[in-house]
Amino acid sequence: MATVEVKSEITGKVWKIETKPGDRLEEDDAILILESMKMEIPVCAPADCKLVEILVAEEDSVSEGQVVAIVEEE
């Protein structure tokens, strides 16, 4: 099992975190939701995986390319 960094593809503010470490996610499931460009844009699981860690908190600002979570791919 490989540990993978999940990066934000856009700059924005963390609006809502809907998952917690240990959660099993399918590819493209939302890990957290950013507010950006006046929209609610999810940061998604890159593959079927287990969520290891979330590195940001609600209201945090994140920039494009910033690592926001760590997952373990199955």
Using CB under 8 A, which of 9, 48, 60, 72 touches other proteins? 9
Residue 13 or 21: the one with the smaller Cβ distance to other proteins is 13
Residue 5 or 21: the one with the smaller Cβ distance to other proteins is 5
Q: Closest Cα partner for 73 from 52, 57, 54? A: 52
70 binds other proteins (CB under 8 A): no
Percent of residues in the chain assigned helix, strand, coil, to nearest 5:
0, 55, 45
67 binds other proteins (CB under 8 A): no
